[in-house]
Amino acid sequence: MPEMTFRDAITQGLQEALDADPKVFMMGEDIGAYGGAYAVTRGFLQKYGPDRIRDTPISESVIVGAGVGAAMGGLRPIVELMTINFSLLAMDQIVNHAVKVRTMSAGASHVPLLIRTVTGGGAGLAATHSQSLEGWYASVPGLYVVNPSTPADALGLLRTCLKQQDPVLFCEHALLYGLRGAVPDEPYAIPLGKARIARPGKDVTLVGYSRMAHVAMQAADELAKRGVDAEVIDLRCLRPLDVATVAESVTKTHRCIVVEEAWKTGAFGAYLAYRIQQEAFDSLDGPVVHVGGEDVPMPYARNLELLAIPNAERVIQALKENFGL
């Protein structure tokens, strides 16, 4: 299979959608002439024109609100929010409008809206640009929340998201855009709500999503040198959430660590730990462990920022402290 970057995989998926359906168009800050804050839409304005690639004012509530209206009117808008931090300015449009239109209209209206946004820290962008808020949105019924970690998953999940009749929050980690990986040549799509077993193992289950799936893999590789065989599960989606695959793994390994970049307090990973203990309690040799980000606004100083985000060493230490491995 050929290799491509995470960025190029998303670019390809967006181009496929624009080429296949004239009802698809994009809106966002700097997505046109500038080519996107992370260069995902470079060249789109020249190829598709200003009617389909629309640079917007700096007003997230207007961007998402216009997207909701366009979707209700029969178009398929793709809205880009420069970072998930800025989605807070559009939370009313996302949570109270996009998500609830189908229910409040008794199914008469749909909002096939794709919201692309950038999540996560580690890029030295300080507290207001480095948050991982996808877990907040995953608590909202009616909203798909998707977090790919590889180029192949980014393209396969994006293809599926663009066929949904309900709103999707598609979260791209800021540090993954340059990641290279194999992507199948033949057409494929990845269903929402189906986790990926990134590495099989028998001694402990490590669960992560987005960049933390890679941190879990790094921990598993290091543990293998010590004779510990870790299974790594990449959730891919927070909503719908694939608890069954995780529970099946825990039934085999009897131990589980959930790794998440978001703050520890109120974290989505803590909810997942609860669900795992519900589904696989009799198989557990101890409580499900949650390794999350530190409960501080993200520091700007690089050395402090690295301390605030989970890494492989912290996962290994948690395994040793809780399970003696």
Q: What is the pLDDT of residues 81-134, one digit of tens each?
A: 999 999 999 999 999 999 999 999 999 999 999 999 999 999 999 999 999 999
The active-site residue, picked from 29, 60, 134, 261, is 60
* Alpha-carbon gap, residue 233 to 199, rounded angstroms: 7
Residue 85's pLDDT is what?
Answer: 97
Tokens linked to 259: 């790794």
Residue 1's pLDDT is what?
Answer: 85
129 has catalytic annotation: yes
* Upper half-sphere CA count for residue 165 (Cβ side, 13 Å): 7
User: From the CB of residue 46, how many other CB atoms can be counted at a distance below 10 Å?
Assistant: 11
In which residue ranges of the chain is CATH 3.40.50.970 found? 3-182
Residue 248's pLDDT is what?
Answer: 98
Residue 325's pLDDT is what?
Answer: 86
Domain 196-320, CATH among 3.40.50.920, 1.10.10.10, 3.40.50.11900, 2.30.290.10 = 3.40.50.920
* Alpha-carbon gap, residue 86 to 206, rounded angstroms: 30
* Overall pTM surpassing 0.85 (yes/no): yes
Nearest to 235 by CA among 204, 267, 206: 206
290 has catalytic annotation: no
In which residue ranges of the chain is CATH 3.40.50.920 found? 196-320
Residues of the chain with pLDDT under 70: none
* Alpha-carbon gap, residue 234 to 195, rounded angstroms: 6
- Characterize 140-151 residue by residue with b for buried, 16 or more Cβ atoms within 10 angstroms of its Cβ, and e for exposed: beebbbbbbbbb
Domain 3-182, CATH among 3.40.50.300, 3.30.2320.80, 3.40.50.970, 3.40.50.720 = 3.40.50.970
The active-site residue, picked from 29, 80, 97, 129, is 129
- pLDDT-above-70 percentage for the chain: 100
